[in-house]
Structure 1
């Protein structure tokens, strides 16, 4: 594709596996002269009679968390262009939507994130993305994990 920038979309939730995925995605993007599109999602379930959190505050805190993780993993000046995205809703849907919007060439996820069963080989977000993505998906395991 003429004028197309190779794009890697990566899901970040701050877990060790997502940090490994971010590191791998940046390495791969640098190898192919591409860019990195990061996404961190937040979801506030609606529960009857409970106060709904301030969505602007949740979005701001999620963006700050994403910035912090990117800086910790890739440094203050990453070797590749990095766009930062915060989404409200289910993380798998956020990843799939962003991959479509950015015409991603690859999606990278950690094998499991925060929550769920720690014994699971692949988290629900990863499974959902693997089954529904329209581009290749790489699932990265946390270093040293068996």
Structure 2
């Protein structure tokens, strides 16, 4: 199920972004939104889910198992809430769709890559072993996607933070060698 958040006339590259609700996934979304704005692209934010990982639907009551569509809507509600601030601050002028896929995230993104021009993911998500450089979903996607994949690693820094870091690393006048 997909839902369009903003409509624009953009006909540029179709960019798929994986999002599991983690902080690294939000950094990947920031990168994707900035890139989409620069190239006139559109974004589809994808979240894979299973019945065991999906939030409880509003229709859930004791003894009643809601239909699959209710679970999917609950996943979409969580996805929209997780990315709302990022889309609001970085997504101006970018068409954004949301997609919930019943199945593993890797499968969801691989299927979405067949219709995409670019897939953007973080190097790691919520699951797995913290010591690994790439999470299993990202590793699977890099190896098997039908289009180019961008792996966003770590937090983005603002230009001010980047300048402060560079200034702090530069030698002071007293430390500079004399000529």
Q: After TM superposition, give the deviation of residue 5 of structure 1 in Å.
A: 2.9
Task: State yes or no: 1:30 paired with 2:37.
Answer: yes
**What TM-score does the superposition give when structure 2 sets the normalisation length?**
0.69
Distance 1:85 1:129 in 2: 17
Could you tell me how far apart the structure 2 residues matched to 1:76 and 1:138 are?
21
In structure 1, the partner of 2:130 is 118
Q: How far apart in 1 are the matches of 2:126 and 2:150?
A: 18
CA distance in 2, matches of 1:5, 1:63: 25
Determine the structure 2 residue equivalent to 1:9.
Answer: 16
Moved over 4 A (4+): none
Q: How many correspondences in the alignment?
A: 135
Distance 1:13 1:99 in 2: 17
TM-score (norm 1): 0.83
Deviations 1:72-127 (A, max 9, x none): 21217822000110010010110111221xx2111001111111111110000000
Task: Report if the CA contact (8 A) 1:40-1:86 is conserved.
Answer: yes
What is the alpha-carbon root mean square deviation over aligned residues?
A: 2.3
Q: 1:131 to 1:34 in 2, by over 3 A?
A: same
1:11 and 1:38 in contact (8 A); partners too: yes
Query: What's the CA shift for 1:142?
Result: 2.4
Q: Runs of 5+ in structure 2 lacking a partner?
A: 1-9, 53-62, 157-179
Stretches of structure 1 that go unaligned for 5 or more consecutive residues are: 46-50
**Bigger Cα Rg:** 2
Larger relative CO (CA 8 A, sep 6+): 1 or 2? 1
